Amino acid sequence: MQTKKSLEEFKNEPFTDFTRAENAEAMKTAIKRVRSELGREYPVIINGEKITLEKKFESINPAEKSQVVGVFSDADADAGNLVAKAIDAATESFKSWRNVPAEERAEYLFKAARIVRDRKHYFSAWMIFETGKTWAEADGDTAEAIDFLEFYGREMLRWAGDQPVTKLEGEDNRFEYVPLGSGAIIPPWNFPLAIMCGMTMAAVVTGNTTVLKPSPDAPTVAYKFMEILEEIGLPKGVVNFLAGSGAAVGEQLVQSPKTRFISFTGSKAVGLHIYEEASKTREGQNWMKRVVAEMGGKDAIIVDEDANLDDAAIGTVQAAFGFQGQKCSACSRLIVNEKVHDALLEKIVEHTKKLKIGLPTEGDTNMTAVINQKSFDNATKMIKKGIEEGGKLISGGGGDSSNGFYIEPTIIDDVQAGATIEQQEIFAPVLAVIKAKDFDHALEIANDTQYGLTGAVYSENEEKLEKARREFHVGNLYLNRKCTGALVGVHPFGGFNMSGTDSKAGGREYLLQFMQGKSIAQKITTNKRDDSTEVSSAGDTTAKAF
């Protein structure tokens, strides 16, 4: 077993260079393998038992919507009964799992990291089929999952060590962290391995047990991770798996009085609903539920008049259209100084037109389909709304859902601050461009939103960058670089306001979300003592206390 001393310092997993022939061939081989495994059926898992249910639902490939990725037992059909069983299994498992030493719990994460690293392209290929990720986007997702496993394992060892307390003569005082209990993990579809893995294993490594309810748009990737947990020998009941076609399972998990915490990543509407339901104390509930929520954003890139426009153009296109704009950190607002507006837009449109839209299984594809019909319909509606409210379409605007849910990378210029597409999260490749009179005006526009997740500023003026550091109200601020691409350990991730609870995933404080502090004080006594002196001392102490 690896010990704290023998562990190497955490380093981010490197991304794969697909320009190298051997790497490209390895990915093609993985895609071929996964293609041969499409359409298989998967059960729910409660206390290690794999249960096949009568009702099923399908996960489909958004880029080829006639292609079934996986067929799942639908826990929504009997959500009340199945959720109760899964929570009971997690609650029972917690009795022993909480007492497993931190070093042993961390070792499970390190074992899982080694397996994912060995099968990196296999996991990436599943995301290519199930969520429409390009090779590079899928590879980044897999690398981040490995990072979470390696980072959180090390972090648990740090939190399990001696914690600093003020010394008091005559007492042995200690402070330690203990797990919360059994909780619900409700991850999103857009980072189906990384975020799902990070949320789940953060709870596990801190000594909690869980019920994992994956998104109905990405259950196969989550199930493949469950197979790894079985392979490494994680005890039964520590992670239970309930896939559902809708919201019934999640609703039951949130409302159960036995659920100690809810870890959620998704939309603002669902996050606020969870927050509200979690605040209600139900019969038999002995705690206030803890909610860890990351709920998206309306992220802006500010480009000032003195910025490097070439860098700003590339960064904007990457942040706006990477993974079809389906990242909570994606740039959906470009706020540009009116003096450089025309020059910058010319460069952005030029880069955008070079993007290749196609099947994600092809290595040279830059953009592919959005996740589902609902997302496609919302994107087309919002594009139309943006134009109706006075915006000028300068690139894209079209869509085709005949074979997959494809939306062109769309740029709408002359958007007014406060317009619908400038305020509402779209989660699609739609960029709203807003002109600013000066830097102060740009900051004012950027901050005028319900959200506060990520933001970026391009400027060569250090005074303006310093002003952004102080006044741009976001959880993750990037200067002279794009607003996407947070790395575990490097950029602790989480936002303000309606972007969630600022949980800072991948940061040194994240594991504290799943633990509570316990202070332990022991009076130091000796075999030989002067009883009268001790009584006198106690009396003095008591007098001071009162």
Residues annotated as catalytic are: 294, 328
Query: For strand 290-294 and strand 261-265, is the pairing parallel, antiparallel, or unpaired?
Result: parallel
Cβ neighbours of 343 (radius 10 Å)? 12
With vertex at residue 215, the alpha carbon angle to CA 245 and CA 361, rounded to the nearest 5 degrees, is 105
Closest of 359, 415, 365 to residue 386, by C-alpha: 415
Whether residue 434 contacts residue 415, with contact meaning beta carbons closer than 8 Å, is answered with: yes
Q: Which H, E and C letters describe 496-537, residue by residue?
A: EECCECCCCECCCCHHHHHEEEEEEEEECCCCCCCHHHHHHH
Distance between first and last Cα of the chain = 50
- Nearest-CA neighbor of 420 among 383, 451, 452, 473? 383
Structure tokens at 198: 């990070």
Q: Whole-angstrom Cα distance, residue 395 to residue 416?
A: 18
Cα 428 to the center of its chain, rounded Å: 17
Query: CA 112: distance to chain centroid?
Result: 18
Four-point Cα dihedral 468, 469, 472, 475, nearest 10: 150
Q: What is the chain's length? A: 546
The one-letter amino acid at 271 = G
Return the closest-CA partner of residue 301 out of 479, 180, 167, 177.
479
DSSP code string of 367-420? B---SSHHHHHHHHHHHHHHHHTT-EEEE---EE-SSS-EE--EEEESPPTT-H
